[in-house]
Amino acid sequence: MQLSWARRPLVVDGLLAVVAFGLTLLPLSAAEPRTGWAYVAAAGQTLPLVLRRQNPLLANVLIAPSAVAYGWIGWPSPLVPIGPLVALHAIAAYGTRVQSYVLLALALLGTPVVLLSRAAEPDPYEWLNVALAAGVAWLAGALTRSRLGELRQYEERIAAERAQRRAETARAASEERNRIAREMHDLLGHSVGVMVLLAEGAAARAEAGDPSPETLERIAATGRETMTELRTMLGGLRATDDDLTRRPAPTSDDLPGLIDAVRAAGMTVAWRSSLPAPITGAAGVAVYRIVQEALTNARKHAPGEPVSVELGEDGSGAVVTVANRAGGRTDGSTGQGLQSMRERAAAVGARLEHGRDGETWRVTLRLGAGEAHE
Q: How far is CA 314 from the centre of its chain?
A: 42
Side-chain-side CA neighbours of residue 205 (13 Å): 14
Of 87-101, 190-204, 318-332, 357-371, minimum mean pLDDT range: 190-204
- pLDDT of 63 above 60: yes
What is the rounded average pLDDT of the residues 318-344?
75
Instruction: Reply yes or no: is the peptide bond before residue 33 cis, omega within 30 of 0.
Output: yes
pLDDT of residue 235: 56
Q: CA end-to-end span of the chain, whole Å?
A: 60
Average pLDDT over residues 180-206: 68
What one-letter code names the amino acid at 118?
R
Q: What is the pLDDT of residue 239?
A: 47
Considering just the CA atoms, what is the radius of gyration of the chain in Å?
42
Q: DSSP 3-state assignment of 149?
A: helix
Query: Under 8 Å CB-to-CB from 192, ≥6 apart: which residues?
Result: 226
8 Å CB contact between 267 and 326: no
Fold exhibited by the domain 251-374: Heat Shock Protein 90 (3.30.565)
Looking only at the bridges linking them, the beta strands covering 351-357 and 318-325 are: unpaired
Position 334 scores a pLDDT of 53
Average pLDDT, whole number, for the chain?
80
Range(s) within the chain of domains with CATH label 3.30.565.10: 251-374
Least confident of 12-26, 76-90, 319-333: 319-333
Ranking 287-291, 305-309, 367-371 by mean pLDDT, the lowest is 367-371
Percent of the chain predicted with pLDDT > 90: 22
